[in-house]
Amino acid sequence: MSERRGFDEILRSRDFVVTFELVPGRSTRTRHYRHIIRFAEEVASKGLFDALSITDNAGGHPALAPEALGRELRRMGHHPIIHFSCKDKNRNMIESDLLALDREGLHTLLVLTGDYPRYGYRGRAKPVFDLDSVSLLRMVSEMRRGFRLSPEVPGGGVELPPIPFFPGCVVNPFKWSEAETLLQYWKLVRKVRAGARFVITQVGFCVRKFQELLFFLREEGLRIPVLAGILVLDIRLARILHRGVVPGITISTELLREVEKESQDPDRGREAALDRAAKLMAICRGLGFQGVHICGAPLDVEAAHELLERSREYLPRWQEFLPQFRDHPRGAFFLYEEDRETGLNRPRRMPLTPKTRRGILYPFMELAHRVFFSSRSPLFPYLRRWADKLAHSALEKYFLHLEYALKKVLFDCQECGDCVLPQMAYLCPQSQCAKFLLNGPCGGSRDGWCEVYPGKRRCVYVRIYERLKPEKRPYYLRDLELPPRDWALFRTSSWLNFYQGKTPRSTEPPEG
């Protein structure tokens, strides 16, 4: 059942890997789907790409499940990369889907958080996000090793056979503020620790950001193949992206104007779009990426061939093209100093800004937690005994109401019973993050705003970063990995759960 050639082998054996992204739509009976199949057949016969990836309900709309197209691609001799997101399914469905992928021999996964659901049958679908990308990678890694079923579950106590998944992850280096940049990179560290074996970047047109990512990985000592996301930008796509409706991708007005001008050419900008993508591919190769991942405007085989050929031709001159790829907003944050000669980076960190937004209540919350919810507090043994008695008395339900009334007012508490407030600078990810993420932000925030509520609600992780900054404590976010929330605790007292040791993570706030 395994693939003819694993993606790990492809990454090992090639100097430079080129993958291409396919976006299945809402029906397999359309011209779009027929184009995908024809394209895949033709590129298979010409051996143009090392792998084809298939998106998972891109943009938050329902679409054909990637495994269905993956199966067809496999039959054609392709190596499919299945985008596997955390949205639309809880952890049991995720496991079930992973078992199905194993059965189909589809083992290369691109694990990602996924887009927030937008349009669906008769309205917006319920957002699920039971796991985040870090916990999903952890789960896939455990399945790789073969995990042991708990003896308490029916049929438990046995070891499940290992499954040869090869998971990758994504990162968005195109963040323009200090908090969003660092939070993205720290999350990448956690993803790699949780088992990611390769990385694909978000698309963008700023070479300094592409290189920043490579510098960061080198500084962290993370040796992992990274494929740069290359966008073939036509006028239709440029207009959509400029409107900011695709989370995580930004293009400037200047770039939009350029593409508009190109679209007046007799070929409606085809040549210019290919040229731009080919130059960026050459640059990324020159910078040291191990490959590129091409996506964007639909291509025919001839155009795909031309793109690859041209990028090879451009490779010896890649440095010449650097000035054409500086698409970033004014005042954008970069982690490293600028090398004025090349417009790239020098391997020296920029100083971080002292800007913080702490909130008036934060110090009181921290004090209350240290006194009442720390095993190091002198009160802890007494409170634990008292909690034990209370948990077995008729007063428990009144205590529960009291706890949730108070926490609703202070934190907009969602009564999960599995509290992570101390780790999250007293901001609740269940109520403040649209995707309920526990291990760092998704890639969709823009200028500090949540991708789901732009201009209305700031990304909770940016707020956490700013709250922790005065004590230089946000750095613990780089290493913190929280397990998924335990739904068995829903609507139980998180305070009593803490004292009774049911929520092992609800300890004192981590030290900086």
Binding of ligand SF4 by 60 (CB under 6 A): no
- Tell me the C-alpha to C-alpha distance, in Å, between residue 129 and each of 16, 85, 117, 314, 411: 34, 9, 10, 42, 20
The one-character DSSP state at 430 is H
**Choice from 84, 166, 336, 461 touching ligand SF4 (CB under 6 A):** 461
In the complex, least distance from residue 411 CB atom to ligand SF4, rounded to whole angstroms: 15
CA 269 and chain centroid, separation: 32
| Nearest approach, Cβ of residue 458 and ligand SF4 (Å) | 8
In degrees and rounded to multiples of 5, residue 213 shows phi and psi of: -60, -45
Name which position in 70, 204, 225, 441 contacts ligand SF4 (CB under 6 A): 441
Stretch of 144-152, 427-435, 490-498, 502-510 lying at the interface with ligand SF4 (CB under 6 A)? 427-435
Rounded Cα gap, residues 166 and 8, in angstroms = 7
The residue from 111, 182, 460, 468 that contacts ligand SF4 (CB under 6 A) is 460
- Partnered with residue 199 across adjacent β-strands are 169, 226
CA atoms within 13 A on the CB side of 118: 14
> Rounded to the nearest whole angstrom, what is the least distance from the CB of residue 266 to ligand SF4 in the complex?
42
CB of 426 vs ligand SF4, minimal distance in Å: 16
* CB of 155 or CB of 455, closer to ligand SF4: 455
Smallest distance, ligand SF4 to C-beta of residue 457, A? 7
Cβ 187 to ligand SF4, closest distance in Å? 10
Q: Which of 23, 143, 434, 480 binds ligand SF4 (CB under 6 A)?
A: 434
Pick the piece of the chain touching ligand SF4 (CB under 6 A) from 3-11, 254-262, 448-456, 484-492. Answer: 448-456
Q: Distance between CA atoms of 461 and 432, rounded to whole angstroms?
A: 9
Could you tell me which residues come within 8 angstroms of residue 172 by beta carbon, excluding any fewer than 6 positions away? Answer: 184, 201, 202, 248, 443
- At 291, which helix (H) or strand (E)? strand 291-296
Write the interaction track for ligand SF4 spanning residues 128-167; mark x where CB under 6 A is met and - where it is not.
Answer: ----------------------------------------
Residues 107, 197, 279, 435: which binds ligand SF4 (CB under 6 A)?
A: 435
Instruction: Give the residue with the Cβ less far from ligand SF4, 119 or 453.
Output: 453
Query: Contact between 442 and ligand SF4 (CB under 6 A)?
Result: yes
**SS3 label, residue 286:** helix
Smallest distance from the beta carbon of 435 to ligand SF4, in angstroms? Answer: 4
Cβ atoms 257, 296 nearer than 8 A: no
Residue 348 host element (H or E) = strand 344-349
Asked if 503 and 419 count as a contact pair (C-beta separation under 8 A), the reply is yes
Find the shortest distance in angstroms from Cβ 129 to ligand SF4. 8
Q: At closest approach, how far in Å is the CB of 116 from ligand SF4?
A: 7
Q: What angle do CA 406, 410, 415 make, to 5 degrees?
A: 60
Number of helical H runs and strand E runs in the chain: 17, 10
Query: Applying CB under 6 A, does 173 fall inside the site for ligand SF4?
Result: no
User: Applying CB under 6 A, does 444 fall inside the site for ligand SF4?
Assistant: yes
Is-contact 24 33, C-beta < 8 A?
yes
Q: Which residues in 318-354 are b (16+ Cβ under 10 Å) and which e?
A: beebbeebebbeeebbbbbeeeeeebbbeeeeeeeee
Cβ 61 to ligand SF4, closest distance in Å? 17
CB of 213 to ligand SF4, least distance (A): 19
**Mutual angle of helices 270-287 and 207-220, in 10-degree steps:** 20
**What DSSP element (H or E) covers 256?**
helix 253-262
Burial of 12 (0-12, 13-18, 19+ CB in 10 A): exposed
Binding residue for ligand SF4 (CB under 6 A) from 451, 465, 485, 498? 451
Residue 238 or 459 having the CB closest to ligand SF4: 459
Our finding on whether 421 is near ligand SF4 (CB under 6 A) is no
**Binds ligand SF4 by CB under 6 A, chosen from 282, 433, 464, 468:** 433
User: Cβ closer to ligand SF4: 60 or 269?
Assistant: 60
Residues 6+ away with beta carbon under 8 Å from 209: 173, 174, 328, 334
> CA 398 to CA 402: how far, in whole Å?
6
Q: Which CB atom, from 25 or from 454, has the smaller least distance to ligand SF4?
A: 454
Tell me whether residue 403 or residue 451 sits nearer to ligand SF4 (CB atom). 451
Our CB check for ligand SF4 shows the closer of 178 and 451 to be 451
Closest by CA position to 58, among listed 204, 237, 182: 237
Of residues 97 and 447, the one with the C-beta less far from ligand SF4: 447
Task: Rule CB under 6 A: choose which of 22, 284, 308, 450 binds ligand SF4.
Answer: 450
- Provide the binding-site residues for ligand SF4, judged by CB under 6 A: 433-435, 437, 441-442, 444-445, 450-452, 459-461
